[in-house]
Amino acid sequence: MIEKTLVLIKPDAVERNLIGNILVEYERNGLKVLDMKLIHATTSLAEQHYAEHKGKPFFNRLVSYLTRSPLVALILEGENVISRVRTLNGTTDPETSQDNTIRALYALSMSENAVHASDSKESADRERAIWFG
Ligand code: CMP
């Protein structure tokens, strides 16, 4: 099934000049970039994006991290792209991410973990609307 998903190349990765290294991982696996922008997220945008984590102890830290400097938002398209991108990204915690996943290669910690990708069709639809209208 051809799907679309929302990916963020997060502030820690943009700050370390990793945009190209990360995009290459998606493109060489046959995923198509449909739309892309560099954006400095507002608090309101970050709070909408992380709405499901509201009330968790790390929520405020997540929002201030996501808004601290520009990030790259992109829409990727491909066969089963939602689960394929999650596999390419690796687990949330880089300590447990498989070798050669984006997070194993580039994430610094559980919070500064280089990339975000939608985890289901419903979140992909919701998150694409948040970032691209
Ligand atoms: P992301 O894929 O952007 O979606 C939710 C984010 O919450 C996740 O990446 C992590 O950066 C962050 N996160 C999840 N669990 C924790 C945690 N226990 N402590 C700090 N950050 C977390």
- Residue 92 beta carbon below 6 angstroms from any ligand 1 atom: yes
Q: Provide the β-strand partners of residue 133.
A: none
Task: State how beta strands 71-79 and 115-117 pair.
Answer: unpaired
pLDDT at 54: 96
pLDDT at 35: 98
pLDDT at 58: 94
pLDDT at 109: 96
Q: Provide the β-strand partners of residue 33.
A: 76
Q: Are 89 and 117 in contact (CB under 8 A)?
A: yes
pLDDT at 98: 97
Assess whether 49 carries a catalytic annotation: no
Q: Which residue is closest in CA terms to ligand 1's atom 5? A: 50
pLDDT at 3: 98
Only one residue has tokens 């799907």, namely 3
pLDDT at 43: 98
Please report the domains of the chain, with CATH numbers, ordered by start residue. Answer: 2-132 (3.30.70.141)
Q: Which residue is closest in CA terms to ligand 1's atom 1? A: 116
pTM for the predicted model, two decimal places: 0.96
- Residue 111 beta carbon below 6 angstroms from any ligand 1 atom: yes
The CA distance from 42 to 85, in Å, is 25
Q: pLDDT tens for the chain, 133 residues: list them.
A: 999 999 999 999 999 999 999 999 999 999 999 999 999 999 999 999 999 999 999 999 999 999 999 999 999 999 999 999 999 999 999 999 999 999 999 999 999 999 999 999 999 999 999 999 9
Best residue among 111, 113, 115, 118 to mutate for probing ligand 1, ranked by most atoms within 8 Å of CB: 111
Q: Angle, nearest 10°, between helix axes 19-27 and 81-89? A: 130
pLDDT at 114: 98
Best residue among 48, 91, 93, 110 to mutate for probing ligand 1, ranked by most atoms within 8 Å of CB: 110
Centre of ligand 1 from the C-alpha of residue 118, in Å:
13
